[in-house]
Chain A
Amino acid sequence: MLDRLRQHLHAAASAGGWPYYAGKGSRIEPTCWALLALAAVWPEDPASRSRFARPHLDWLAGLQSRDGLLIETEPAFANLTANALAAIVLMRLGGPEHAAVLRALCQGIVSVKGVGLGTVEGGQDNTLQGWPWVRDTFSWVEPTAWCLLALKVATPAVPGAADRISEAERLLSNRVCRGGGWNYGNASTLGQDLRPYVPTTAVALLAMQDRRTDVPVQQSVQRLTALRSTEHSAVALGLTALALRLHGAAVDDVEDQLAEVVRRAEDAGHLQAIAIALHALSADTHLVEMMRVGA
């Protein structure tokens, strides 16, 4: 099956990048996932892996704007989740020729903050600023988690990153749902507790992998473990497998289910889901090193 998924991604590659869905135009996020997935299981020598990755990394680099962020549409709408993933990919797979791009990209990420409201409502501290999906909007869990992870895996440390990392960790801890896990936004709204989403919880746990002793993180690992079979999709199961593995939890049953459902993503031509699945299902060999803090 891993060969099949690999072939699927190889066949869908353009001269530069991958689309979310087969037949569409290249986008940052699926390009990053495809590169991570294929590079982690590259069967040949590192030099051939670099040759393969080069045009796709160059395509990413070509999207960089003056503020350092990669732009798919227009500068106001730089997607911070996609940019954080691109930073991780350039750190792990980029060569010296990408160093300047990576430096500017990391600075661009550090420079963007979610809008703070200066209020605490229903236990939610809206003074905390993580990352928004796009600049000048509120901080949300997923972009905050990806940007946090990107800054944590960066070596050497990005100037100005330490304070942003600390505040983002506090934001994620503050947004944990009652009983653990993360909804995509708040933990509650209008007095009602919101339930955690499986993929969002998994992404937040990837970012909090080095905070295993924090109570909110421990609760969230338990919650994700309990919910791991409730969302039957390649994305939910794939991210869950990656996150739980990085937190040292057993993932065999998650991977079994993922292997069952991935055909649906293949039928839909959902390349990002296929790439996430490939990365998760091959993790026995690569141990998720590319997303590991301190690796």
Chain B
Amino acid sequence: MSVRDGLRAQTETRPEAVTRRGFLKALPVGLAAAAACSTPPYTPSDFSVPSSSPLALLPADSYDTDLADLISRGLRMLGQDVRGRRVFLKPNMVEYWPDKAVNTDPRVVAAAAEAMLRAGAREVVVGEAPGHRRDVEYLLEGTGMGDVLKDLRLRFVDLNHDDVRRVPLKSRYTTMEAIWLPVELLQSDYIVSMPKLKTHHFAGLTASMKNLFGTVPGSVYGWPKNVLHFHGIEQSIVDLAATIRPQLAIIDAVVGMEGDGPIMGRPRPVGFIGMSTDLVALDATCARAIGLEPAKMPYLSVAGEFLGNVEPGRIEQRGERTDRYRMQFDVIEPIRRLRA
């Protein structure tokens, strides 16, 4: 995405096609050349892509399913040990529209918290830096998340307004050297990205990697994290995922959003909870499930070079097969080119 396109994207008026070449074009000449040739904008020794990434797709036709049991099973399938850990759950709670499937359902968040506590987590904290709304009290009340957290006596952290610390970026596709992140997030030793499965009118898909935009404090970067838009949404997705490195992702794909996501689309039942320790693998699998081709999505293909696995042959399905959930999400015209 060029700087001009980046600016255009900020206005949210016209999504632009982003190719892998366009992705790299946003870098200064030296870095772009390096990224396209042999020296990428990260230190290769900082990363190691596993030969195979475990992933669990767990059937959930409705939110009345015993989701805590389901997620507990997922933790065991993935061999996760959270005993004694301070777990940070990062759901997507960007906006509140009563008739739209915008946010991670509070019941999924509650279930994840219960599963973590049952598995021996020392503490579970829930936090979000909503990208549109500053007023988290309104969002917590409107979405029902506040009641859920109160029932479970879980603490919520408003990441937009937390104390912040400057953290060097582990990859620099944005060309930024560092990012300010909330201290509460950095103090956690087990971070879980908990997105809603949605289309995204710029990036194609919003899942566990894009969800990390919601860790970036608006009090530093503004709403909707405008500085990141300026540096390229897809580049920012990669740099955030490379830097924050969540230990786990749990995606709410019980009901997703198709059409003009991530806010204005329509609810679409999908029927699973997806879990993986590899965010790239989970996002690539979700893309395939809704009829998008990961190889056509620059942020996924670039992430597949150093952050995780994109190829199906390197993703070890420990729950249901992706084929069971395969469907074609409706997408708006500018991202139709991402279809498989």
Query: A1-45 vs B: 1/0 string, CB under 8 Å?
Result: 000000000000000000111001101010000000000000000
Report Cα–Cα, A49/B260, bound state, in Å: 53
B332 at the interface (CB under 8 A from A): yes
User: Inside 8 A of A265's CB, which chain B residues have their CB?
Assistant: 137
Report Cα–Cα, A73/B167, bound state, in Å: 12
Report Cα–Cα, A143/B201, bound state, in Å: 25
Nearest Cβ in chain A — how far from B204, in angstroms? 15
Residue of A nearest to B138 (CB): A233
B230 x A29 contact (CB < 8 A) = no
B220 at the interface (CB under 8 A from A): yes
Nearest Cβ in chain B — how far from A29, in angstroms? 7
A133 x B223 contact (CB < 8 A) = yes
A185 x B224 contact (CB < 8 A) = yes
A134 x B222 contact (CB < 8 A) = yes
Considering residues A19, A140, A143, A190, which has the most beta carbons from chain B within 10 angstroms of its beta carbon? A190
B222 x A132 contact (CB < 8 A) = yes
B137 x A136 contact (CB < 8 A) = no
A20 x B133 contact (CB < 8 A) = no
B132 at the interface (CB under 8 A from A): yes
Considering the complex, which residues of chain A in the window 94-116 have a beta carbon less than 8 Å from any beta carbon of chain B?
115
B230 x A136 contact (CB < 8 A) = yes
Nearest Cβ in chain A — how far from B113, in angstroms? 18
Nearest Cβ in chain B — how far from A241, in angstroms? 15
**A73 in complex: contacting residue of B220, B229, B260, CB < 8 Å:** B220
A214 at the interface (CB under 8 A from B): no
Q: With A126-B11, A137-B10, A192-B264 as known contacts, state yes or no: A232 contacts B223, CB within 8 Å.
A: no
Q: How many residues of B contact A (CB 8 A)?
A: 39
Q: With A133-B226, A197-B133 as known contacts, state yes or no: A235 contacts B138, CB within 8 Å.
A: yes
A24 x B163 contact (CB < 8 A) = yes
User: Inside 8 A of B135's CB, which chain A residues have their CB?
Assistant: 199, 231, 233, 235-236
User: Inside 8 A of A25's CB, which chain B residues have their CB?
Assistant: 163
Residue of B nearest to A186 (CB): B12
B245 at the interface (CB under 8 A from A): no
B61 at the interface (CB under 8 A from A): no
B227 at the interface (CB under 8 A from A): yes
User: Inside 8 A of A142's CB, which chain B residues have their CB?
Assistant: 134, 223
Nearest Cβ in chain A — how far from B152, in angstroms? 16
B11 x A20 contact (CB < 8 A) = no
**B137 in complex: contacting residue of A24, A134, A264, CB < 8 Å:** A264
A147 at the interface (CB under 8 A from B): no
Considering the complex, which residues of chain A in the window 129-149 have a beta carbon less than 8 Å from any beta carbon of chain B?
132-134, 136-138, 140, 142-143
**A27 in complex: contacting residue of B132, B134, B219, B222, CB < 8 Å:** B219
A179 at the interface (CB under 8 A from B): no
B163 x A184 contact (CB < 8 A) = no
Query: B196-225 vs A: 1/0 string, CB under 8 Å?
Result: 000001000000000000000011111110
Q: With A233-B138, A235-B135 as known contacts, state yes or no: A133 contacts B11, CB within 8 Å.
A: no
Chain A: interface size category: 35 or more
Residue of A nearest to B201 (CB): A190
User: Inside 8 A of B16's CB, which chain A residues have their CB?
Assistant: none
**A235 in complex: contacting residue of B137, B221, B260, B264, CB < 8 Å:** B137
Residue of B nearest to A261 (CB): B137
A231 x B227 contact (CB < 8 A) = no
User: Inside 8 A of A20's CB, which chain B residues have their CB?
Assistant: 158, 161-162, 219
B137 x A79 contact (CB < 8 A) = no
A178 at the interface (CB under 8 A from B): no
Query: B131-161 vs A: 1/0 string, CB under 8 Å?
Result: 0111101100110000000000000101001
A184 x B7 contact (CB < 8 A) = no
B51 at the interface (CB under 8 A from A): no
Task: Identify which of A54-62, A117-125, A248-256 touches chain B.
Answer: A117-125
Residue of B nearest to A239 (CB): B135
User: Inside 8 A of A189's CB, which chain B residues have their CB?
Assistant: 12-13, 264
A72 at the interface (CB under 8 A from B): yes
A140 x B226 contact (CB < 8 A) = yes
Report Cα–Cα, A20/B218, bound state, in Å: 13
Q: With A190-B260, A232-B141, A270-B137 as known contacts, state yes or no: A140 contacts B158, CB within 8 Å.
A: no
Considering the complex, which residues of chain B in the window 156-175 have a beta carbon less than 8 Å from any beta carbon of chain A?
156, 158, 161-164, 166
Nearest Cβ in chain B — how far from A48, in angstroms? 30
A79 x B138 contact (CB < 8 A) = no
Considering the complex, which residues of chain A in the window 261-295 have a beta carbon less than 8 Å from any beta carbon of chain B?
261, 264-265, 268, 270, 272-273
Residue of B nearest to A28 (CB): B219
A77 at the interface (CB under 8 A from B): yes
The 8 A-B pairs with the shortest beta carbon distances in the complex, nearest first, are A133-B222, A20-B161, A233-B137, A138-B10, A233-B138, A137-B226, A189-B12, A121-B13
Question: What are 27 of the A-B contact pairs (CB < 8 Å)?
Answer: A19-B163, A20-B162, A24-B163, A72-B219, A79-B220, A121-B11, A121-B14, A133-B221, A133-B223, A134-B220, A134-B221, A134-B227, A140-B223, A143-B222, A184-B134, A185-B12, A189-B264, A190-B14, A190-B15, A190-B332, A231-B135, A231-B142, A232-B141, A234-B137, A235-B135, A236-B138, A261-B137
- A184-B224, A234-B137 are known contacts; what are 7 more A-B pairs with Cβ within 8 Å? A20-B219, A73-B164, A77-B220, A77-B227, A133-B221, A186-B11, A235-B135
| Partner-A contacts on B (CB < 8 A) | 7-8, 10-15, 132-135, 137-138, 141-142, 156, 158, 161-164, 166, 180, 201, 218-224, 226-227, 229-230, 260, 264, 332
